[in-house]
Chains A and B, each alone.
Chain A
């Protein structure tokens, strides 16, 4: 049993490292790539505050998706909100003492897993049966839904059916988090738990290399995050200045 404990502890470190650095690298890459032209999809806000509101509406209530397609919106919002609640509930396994907010989320979190599965099955059904969406789907789209479904189903089963020694698991997780290797607690090895953790670790590793990059991507989309003020404020990319505006004959920038 020591093998599984060591294996999952190492996997957890590796996955966290890949997720953080992979995602960090992509965010860095997005941040340093210039947007040379003003391209907000208009009507667009005229102030930075307005842009914050616009992005919040996109991120929290999926405004554009709502305008676009009510079914995709419904399944997407059910899935994402349920996922948030589930994630908040799971924080209890990573902290001691447990925050009040996380304690409060506990009863909702347990049942949110059903909502999460409903959303996922809805999205899967659309992908399989709506001809247009089926046409554009590639294997990794299904793989992503499959991973999330495995996580959701195994987690729900652990919560309500097969059970596991959750106290022991929390002890394991805390010792991993605290780098307390000399005193590494043993991990329970129920099949369902191993499946659950394997899927979670896989998802963490896949995250920075996949379409899950839509999470940072939305914040960097010039169509959504730019202020509509091109006439009032001159906007020039550094490469454009270098390429066109540093020769003596041409105009100066501000």
Chain B
């Protein structure tokens, strides 16, 4: 995988078939390995340490004491097979080690050997194995073929979540000096510059000014994109891809129009100019906490009252489920609002209250479907009811357009597939995996395109948008098929010169 290789794009299956096993097809050396200086920036050894075996086993023991999930999940699996056909990477590659249970067993075999009586006494009987270099290489390869999307955890009768195991494995790999380049190159940029892209404040200010001018040209109205405004009510934390990438940037324009029309006082922060938290991908509580603390500091420094997150999947997981844990309590913010809020919750609320008006006909040239982003769907919530994370984005889309069609029920909501690029896999050295992993989503999309003439698939995740823009053409769709929900909002919103008073 590490070298540029040619690969075949999987063909659409005429009907959902039981995957045929092709052992070893995705065996490889995994994604590019992090360089020593990146490793050291994060407090990990620069390269594979000499006593990696003992260090790894010690770390495993440490994690087993810290994470109940890991301990319970490693013991509970009965190898019933319920998960074996549920992972998009298994479906797309047919490599049996991409079955969630087989992926877990790469880790579990070492756990059994070192931490269970049965594995110490009868390793062959219970499938226990020593942590050899081959096993370590398999870890590096196959735990970087998991996007931590949690689809397997929905179907497991014991709730075993492979994401927890793959995070633990990646943390152990980092601890022995075998980090992944993509993630470990990005995290230090957050600390040093403020965002994953390494976009410094002057460049960010410049970009935002440019966007303000574009919006002025388009609408004739002064719509602001404030940066580092002290005393603003709302701090918007959004993935840095929103500042430059297509189709993300049109989503950012959508947020600005919503804030403008609501008459809200809001700001971005150059210090915390990134919603994504790659600390989660590498399973590092420490790094995840440090990245989260920036948001707390930005909120305090800018004296804001609310924190709202832009469209980003894993970011929303860390924000919704972990931010209070990692950087709370947030009792210094306005207690009338949840901390943090999702931009879709915010916009939905404004639509409900009639604060913003939407002209659905503005999107009449589009027929929409919606891709539930994996981490939003299975690790978070929006609004005050379970499942709000499915309903609120759909309600926002439906308020913006006249033509909306859901994909097959077993490919949406909590059964949604990962886009194929989540969890730290959104790197070109994993392109083959990304293309193959997108297969089940592309099949479901094909069906609504054929049946209903769907032209666009809305998404609320920076990774989904980048991933789809890249892989859609491999399956014969245009790269602009993927679109931000807030681009739809931005196109449909009825703007007035004078902003309304806050609703």
Contact = CB atoms under 8 A, between A and B. Distances in A.
Using C-beta atoms within 8 Å of the partner chain, give the interface range for chain B. 35 or more
Contact of B387 (A43, A133, A230): A43
B82 A211 contact: no
A231 B339 contact: yes
A41 B380 contact: no
Given A67-B155, A221-B160, A42 B379 contact: yes
A224 B150 CA distance: 13
Nearest to B339: A231
Nearest to A215: B76
Contacts of B203: none
B69 A221 contact: yes
Interface stretch (B7-15, B237-245, B321-329, B452-460): B321-329
B263 interface: no
A41 B81 contact: no
A209 interface: yes
Contacts of B285: 36-37, 240
A193 B380 CA distance: 54
A220 B324 contact: no
Contacts of A213: 75-76
B81 A72 contact: yes
B329 A234 contact: yes
Given A33-B68, A43-B389, A221-B76, A135 B154 contact: no
B161 A41 contact: yes
A227 to B, nearest CB: 11
Interface centre among A36, A223, A232, A244 (most CB of B within 10 A): A223
A68 B82 contact: yes
A69 B154 CA distance: 12
B82 to A, nearest CB: 4
Contacts of B320: 230-231
B125 A138 contact: yes
Nearest to B155: A68
Nearest to A63: B157
Interface string B54-80: 000000000011111101110111111
Contacts of A24: none
B68 A42 contact: no
Nearest to B379: A42
A211 B81 CA distance: 14
A140 B118 contact: yes
Contacts of B321: 37-39, 230
Contacts of B99: 132, 135-136
B410 to A, nearest CB: 9
Interface in A221-254: 221-224, 228, 230-237, 239-240, 244, 251, 253-254
A65 interface: yes
B154 A41 contact: yes
B19 A35 contact: no
Interface centre among B289, B320, B328 (most CB of A within 10 A): B328
A45 interface: yes
Nearest to B414: A43
A16 interface: no
A90 interface: no
A231 B153 contact: no
Contact of B159 (A29, A143, A221): A221
A207 B22 CA distance: 34
Given A132-B19, A221-B73, A224-B159, A46 B81 contact: no
B157 A39 contact: no
B79 A138 contact: yes
A209 B81 contact: no
7 contacts: A33-B67, A58-B157, A132-B99, A133-B81, A138-B126, A218-B158, A220-B68
List the 10 closest A-B pairs by CB distance, nearest first.
Answer: A217-B76, A138-B127, A43-B386, A68-B155, A223-B159, A221-B159, A133-B81, A224-B159, A68-B82, A65-B157
